[in-house]
Amino acid sequence: MINLSPEVFQSARAIVSPYVYHTPLLTSRLLSEKSGFNIRLKAEIFQRTGSYKIRGPLNKFAHLTDEQRRRGVICSSAGNHAQGVALAAKLNGMRAVVVMAENATPSKIEATRAYGAEVVLHGSIWDEANEKAKQLCEERGLTYIHPFDDPDLIAGQGTLGLEIYEDWPSVEVVIVPIGGGGLISGVSMALKGLNPRIRIIGVESSGAPAMKLSVEKGELVTLDQVDCVIDGLKVKRVGEHTFDAVRQFVDEIVALPDSEIFDAIIWIMSHCKLVVEGAAAASVAAVLNGLIKAPAGSRVVCVLSGGNVNLQQLKGLKWN
């Protein structure tokens, strides 16, 4: 059973903080008025690489052996994890290989290469790219960096929660998007370790509610299919560590369709003047659609987990 201590998160912060930005908590008068809550936005969109995903790898790499660091690391990803691993490896003077699907967004491929990683294109979906990554891991002696199901990675992501508490100790509710569960696992454990009364609410796409269904069933569920186009939320099966953490430390999970999350992207752009990706908009979408049940005036943080918008995807959408 995973239960990382406050000391683990403080240690992770000491490792991570020299390289990451302490991103701001932005007030949102319009969202507060619309919801009846006192809302602030944790703007991880301003983080290096454009998302929180650099935090976990930075902490993970600090726990590798000298031999592992010398040989280098490998991961598979379509976007944010790739860039997080690539930059974290560069900052640590390590070699990084990233396997991406052949149809990955060209801008994401270019960004990952720009951070110094070797990019290998393989397959048409993440699962195929991931199998290739595991093959290369064995062939080249590299260390595989999981996108979410690793305690060291989770501890690194949880440093985001420490920043929220430092900036707003009286926070009462924190809303976090859920893909594989690494971010919400770290944030929930870090915050509950500081104040167990803080409510943690997760948000999934209703087309890919792998964590919600797993928690409801009491065991890990693998979805037969995923009706979700948002990269950061499109997961068939969450991790063993993340499932365990969410069961212990997350108070509630809500889900809503992609269309309502995309509407939230536009609302945030229009009213908050911020560019957010789909997964990041999920927290605000839950507020806009009345899914967050809390007393009026509650101090609420919506985590905007990243700002790397897939512009090609947006071009294909039809807005009302």
Catalytic residues, by residue number, are 53, 305
**Taking a C-beta distance cutoff of 8 angstroms, is the pair 97, 136 a contact?**
yes
How many degrees, rounded to 5, is the angle at CA 184 between CA 240 and CA 83? 90
Which two structure tokens, joined as six digits, stand for 156?
A: 């690194």
Q: 299-304 and 173-177 as β-strands: parallel, antiparallel, unpaired?
A: parallel
Nearest to 198, CA basis, from 289, 299, 295: 299
Q: 299-304 and 143-144 as β-strands: parallel, antiparallel, unpaired?
A: unpaired
